[in-house]
Amino acid sequence: MTDMMRAWVVSDPGPIHQSSLDQSSLDQSSLDQSSLDQSSLDQSPLNQSPLTLVERPVPVPAPGEVLVRVRVCGVCRTDLHLAEGELAPRHSMVVPGHEVVGEVVQLGKGADRFQIGDRVGIAWLRHTCGACRWCRAGRENLCPQSRYTGWDTDGGYAEFAVVPAAFAYRIPPSFTDEQAAPLLCAGIIGYRSLLRAQLPAGGRLGIYGFGASAHLTAQLAIAQGAEVHVMTRGEEARELALQLGAASVGGPYDAAPVPLDSAIIFAPAGELVPLALESLGPSGTLALAGIHMSDIPALNYQRHLFNERTVCSVTSNTRRDGEEFLVLAQRLGVQVTTTPVPFEQADVALRDLAAGHVRGAEVLRMT
Ligand SMILES: [Zn+2]
Ligand SMILES: [Zn+2]
């Protein structure tokens, strides 16, 4: 007889929050939710949740894998992109979730890096080939054979999940389960974005969008002496930014108050790219942190790029990024702002994220 567990699966990818808004206003709606109200959500035929709660057999750890009893799982914007179909599904009925903190309960053959009872984290990257030119150059995030938790393979919106031991993380003891979960993607990707943004010591950093990833990244930058300017919708997000030490806050389309050395766009909104580039000083770098972004409008060479400005994307992360970030997060005392959500309400959590109503990071808690 097989042990069963509860799991959320992406059963029907499609827009979550669209109602009176048509598809062409999708980009705008990601920045301005003022036209959305609860009643329109409740009446919308498109309002069916893309997620379904199902019963599944508890997975069996393959050689090299460990089985983890999930205690919490963070909700990432990538889960939303997957649920809404903006990120093409790699297989149907996948269990999303790649910010898992839990306890090792079973070891696959040869998985000797952990012991039963260890607290571990399961993150986005879960396989690379180890042999290609990118892997050999320490850039495994670009490995063409890379595989991802909650996209290629079932993730942590479930009571149990498996992970290759080589890709699991030890969690610094100073963080609770709930605090640690958002570190595993929001934190790690934010850290890589900050590296990609080439922020000089004591430099000025612009941050566009202030969700889970941004609120952690801002703290890293501030702790390292940067002056941080935040451009975002949402009164709560702006308050949090000021509370964490941002030098200024403004609306998503506002110009930065000073020329920036570096900027990171966390919002999945391509229309912000020209604005952010215009706010960069000479030699400035703009990093685009998301896995998905709406189309970028045409750029003007003089206004947006001349004076050796650079724009770059951020693609996943290496395990080294993850290890470095977790050490840094503990040493700098990064504060993780979370909104706990019961496991049974994962669909509601995604809807809140889509609507931009979240303070810090949402975390699903097993009950
Ligand atoms: Zn490779
Ligand atoms: Zn993520």
pLDDT (0 to 100) of residue 231? 97
Share of the chain above pLDDT 90, in %: 85
Span 151-168, average pLDDT = 98
At a CB cut-off of 8 Å and minimum separation 6, what does 131 contact? none
pLDDT (0 to 100) of residue 89? 86
State the fold for domain 188-313. Rossmann fold (3.40.50)
Ligand in nearest proximity to the CA of 129: 1
If you measure from the C-alpha of residue 132 to the centroid of ligand 1, how many angstroms do you get, rounded to a whole number? 4
Position 217 pLDDT exceeds 90: yes
Mean pLDDT of the chain: 91
Could you give phi then psi for residue 51, rounded to 5 degrees? Answer: -100, 145
* Of 84-88, 108-112, 117-121, minimum mean pLDDT range: 84-88
If you measure from the C-alpha of residue 44 to the centroid of ligand 1, how many angstroms do you get, rounded to a whole number? 44
pLDDT (0 to 100) of residue 360? 84
If you measure from the C-alpha of residue 111 to the centroid of ligand 1, how many angstroms do you get, rounded to a whole number? 21
CA distance 364 to 45: 26
| β partners of residue 101 | 72, 121
If you measure from the C-alpha of residue 186 to the centroid of ligand 2, how many angstroms do you get, rounded to a whole number? 6
Q: Domain locations in the chain?
A: 4-170+337-365, 188-313
Q: 311: pLDDT confidence band, cut at 50, 70 and 90?
A: very high
Ligand in nearest proximity to the CA of 136: 1
If you measure from the C-alpha of residue 77 to the centroid of ligand 2, how many angstroms do you get, rounded to a whole number? 6
pLDDT (0 to 100) of residue 17? 59
Tell me the two tokens of residue 172. 């610094």
If you measure from the C-alpha of residue 317 to the centroid of ligand 1, how many angstroms do you get, rounded to a whole number? 13
Protein residues placing their CB within 5 Å of the ion ligand 1: 128-129, 132, 135, 143
CA distance 100 to 105: 14
- What is the number of H-type helices and E-type strands within the chain? 11, 17
Position 184 pLDDT exceeds 50: yes
Ligand in nearest proximity to the CA of 156: 2
pLDDT (0 to 100) of residue 107? 98
pLDDT (0 to 100) of residue 29? 37
Span 69-92, average pLDDT = 94
Position 24 pLDDT exceeds 50: no
If you measure from the C-alpha of residue 351 to the centroid of ligand 1, how many angstroms do you get, rounded to a whole number? 35
If you measure from the C-alpha of residue 282 to the centroid of ligand 2, how many angstroms do you get, rounded to a whole number? 32
At a CB cut-off of 8 Å and minimum separation 6, what does 364 contact? 72, 73, 74, 75, 97, 157, 341, 342, 343, 345, 346, 349
If you measure from the C-alpha of residue 318 to the centroid of ligand 1, how many angstroms do you get, rounded to a whole number? 11
If you measure from the C-alpha of residue 46 to the centroid of ligand 1, how many angstroms do you get, rounded to a whole number? 40
At a CB cut-off of 8 Å and minimum separation 6, what does 229 contact? 204, 205, 206, 207, 246, 247, 248, 249, 250, 256, 257, 258, 260
Protein residues placing their CB within 5 Å of the ion ligand 2: 76, 78, 185
DSSP string, 215-254: HHHHHHHHHTT-EEEEE-S-HHHHHHHHHTT-SEEE-TTS
* Of 84-93, 195-204, 213-222, minimum mean pLDDT range: 84-93
Tell me the two tokens of residue 230. 């935040």
Q: Up-side HSE of residue 193: CA atoms within 13 Å toward CB?
A: 31
Nearest to 179 by CA among 215, 150, 232, 149: 215
Task: Please give the CATH number for the structural domain made up of 4-170+337-365.
Answer: 3.90.180.10
pLDDT (0 to 100) of residue 45? 45
Q: 10: pLDDT confidence band, cut at 50, 70 and 90?
A: very high
Q: 212: pLDDT confidence band, cut at 50, 70 and 90?
A: very high
Tell me the two tokens of residue 59. 């997975």
Of 26-30, 108-112, 358-362, give the range with the top mean pLDDT. Answer: 108-112
